[in-house]
């Protein structure tokens, strides 16, 4: 238990559906991250939020829409996804994005399957 | 550009045998280096990290890693593997200007342990 909780753990959705992934931490951290983990590929950083402001968007398609209403919660809104978007989506948090020595804590991930 | 290479996709060792997982990085300055472990269906857990100082770092679960600047390597070792060590191991380097949440990962090495 890392203190970062992701829901749901598993999600199956059709290509025309709209769904959201949720990440929650009560570690007092101010930075939150979304990563995508696909089979046979390195983990890819998708988005970074620091103090509720988005600081990085690594060329992620617009069908993925992040939202960070406060420092404890991070959402990933999904719509009109493709089968190749099926992956494990990991959330992480750290005290401050700018501090390199701050340890990041990862959630257990949401296994997304797009059918 | 920063990158991490884990040349071994899958390694099998016998329980009680020693283990070394290889990691090579590409980074212009002094890197911040990490090893994470991921058990099936789980998120990432930090095993150990190197920022500066002693090039041999100790981590949790009996793991250690040695930073060798001349070889651009940060190999993970364990003197005696236990069946519970079966998992996937990821080496990562801290991206410029970012915290440990802003990481560049290798593709991972899957470790299987024979009884």
Kindly state the tokens that stand for B88.
């996937």
Task: Provide the pLDDT confidence category of residue A2 given band limits of 50, 70 and 90.
Answer: confident
**Taking 90 as the threshold, does the pLDDT of residue B37 lie above it?**
yes
- For residues A98-106, give the mean pLDDT: 79
How far apart, in whole angstroms, are the C-alpha atoms of residue A17 and residue B13? 44
The pLDDT of residue B42 is 83
The pLDDT of residue B97 is 54
The pLDDT of residue B98 is 56
Q: Is B12 in contact with B112 (CB distance < 8 Å)?
A: yes
**Taking 80 as the threshold, does the pLDDT of residue A114 lie above it?**
yes
Measure B26 CA to nearest chain A CA, in Å.
Answer: 15
Measure B42 CA to nearest chain A CA, in Å.
Answer: 5
Kindly provide the residue ranges of all beta strands, DSSP E only, lying in chain A, ordered along the sequence. Answer: 4-7, 10-13, 18-25, 31-37, 44-50, 53-57, 64-70, 73-79, 87-94, 105-106, 110-114
Q: Which residue has the tokens 């570690």?
A: A27
Contacts of A42 in chain B (CB under 8 A): 4, 104-108
Are B101 and A90 a contacting pair at CB < 8 A?
no
Q: Which residue has the tokens 């700018």?
A: A98
Q: What is the pLDDT of residues A40-55, one digit of tens each?
A: 788 899 999 999 999 8
* DSSP element (H, E) containing B74: strand B73-78
Nearest-by-Cβ selection for A98 from B49, B99, B104 = B99
**Taking 60 as the threshold, does the pLDDT of residue A24 lie above it?**
yes
Kindly state the tokens that stand for B84.
């519970």
Q: What is the pLDDT of residues B54-92, one digit of tens each?
A: 899 999 999 999 999 999 999 999 999 999 999 999 999
CB pairs under 8 A between A and B: 79
**Taking 80 as the threshold, does the pLDDT of residue B112 lie above it?**
yes
* DSSP element (H, E) containing B93: strand B87-94
The pLDDT of residue B99 is 59
The pLDDT of residue B90 is 96
Region of residue B41 (phi > 0: left; psi between -120 and 50: alpha; otherwise: beta) = left
**Taking 70 as the threshold, does the pLDDT of residue B96 lie above it?**
no
Q: Which residue has the tokens 């991070």?
A: A74
Find, among B99, B77, B86, B89, the residue nearest to B4 by Cα: B89
CB A73: neighbour CB atoms within 10 A? 15
Mean pLDDT of all residues in chain A? 91
């Amino acid at each position: 238990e890392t203190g970062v909780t992701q829901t749901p753990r598993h999600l199956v959705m059709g290509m025309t559906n709209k769904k959201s992934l949720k990440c929650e931490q009560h570690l007092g951290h101010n930075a939150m991250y979304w990563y995508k983990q696909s089979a046979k590929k390195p983990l890819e950083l998708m988005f970074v939020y620091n103090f509720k402001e988005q600081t990085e968007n690594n060329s992620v398609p617009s069908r993925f829409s992040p939202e960070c209403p406060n420092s404890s919660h991070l959402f990933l809104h999904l719509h009109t996804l493709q089968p190749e978007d099926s992956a494990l989506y990991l959330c992480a948090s750290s005290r401050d994005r700018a501090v390199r020595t701050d340890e990041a804590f990862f959630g257990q991930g949401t296994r997304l399957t797009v059918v | 550009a920063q990158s991490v290479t884990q040349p071994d996709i899958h390694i099998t060792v016998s329980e009680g045998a020693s283990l070394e997982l290889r990691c090579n990085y590409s980074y212009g300055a002094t890197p911040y280096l990490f090893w994470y472990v991921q058990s099936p269906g789980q998120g990432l857990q930090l095993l150990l990290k190197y920022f500066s100082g002693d090039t041999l770092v100790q981590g949790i679960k009996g793991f250690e890693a040695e930073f060798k600047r001349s070889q651009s390597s940060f190999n993970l070792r364990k003197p005696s593997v236990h069946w519970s060590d079966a998992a996937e191991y990821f080496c990562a380097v801290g991206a410029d200007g970012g915290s440990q949440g802003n990481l560049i990962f290798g593709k991972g090495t899957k470790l299987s342990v024979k009884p």
